[in-house]
């Protein structure tokens, strides 16, 4: 029973972090939402259904997990947000290690988004 509640709590925290990741460029959205979907699938069918039927997040998770891709509009918005957010942070940061980290994140996430299958909406 304790394991179920820990997984549900982890799912709620993951949804919160994933939701924050939509607007914060260095906080990843997809891994947290996928983790939440998994944790809820193991602990609460009700929470899993709520997440998967969510108007904003449900289609995104479904496309990524079941259809193995992202629709073009989401890809473009992700790239614009990513480049804008990290670009802004890059110009404000003078630390070479921080800038290198930002550049690695930018290139890695860009590569992932460009290479993942583009789905019809």
Q: Collapsing DSSP states into helix, strand and coil, what is residue 79? A: helix
**pLDDT of the chain, 121 residues: tens digit per residue:** 788 899 999 999 999 998 888 777 667 788 888 899 999 999 999 999 999 999 888 888 888 888 888 889 888 988 888 898 888 888 898 999 999 998 998 899 899 989 999 988 7
Going by the DSSP 8-state scheme, the letter that residue 93 receives in this structure is -
Predicted local distance difference test score (pLDDT) of residue 10: 93
Q: How many Å apart are CA 60 and CA 79, to the nearest integer?
A: 15
């Amino acid at each position: 029973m304790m394991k179920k509640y820990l997984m549900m709590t982890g799912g709620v925290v993951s949804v919160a972090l994933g939701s924050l990741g939509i607007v914060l460029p260095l906080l990843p959205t997809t891994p947290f939402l996928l983790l939440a979907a998994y944790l809820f699938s193991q602990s609460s069918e009700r929470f899993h259904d709520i997440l998967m039927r969510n108007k904003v997040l449900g289609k995104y998770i479904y496309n990524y997990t079941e259809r193995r891709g992202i629709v073009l509009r989401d890809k473009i918005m992700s790239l614009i947000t990513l480049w804008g957010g990290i670009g802004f942070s890059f110009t404000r940061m003078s630390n070479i290690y921080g800038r290198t980290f930002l550049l690695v994140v930018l290139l890695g996430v860009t590569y992932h988004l460009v290479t993942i299958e583009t789905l019809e909406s």
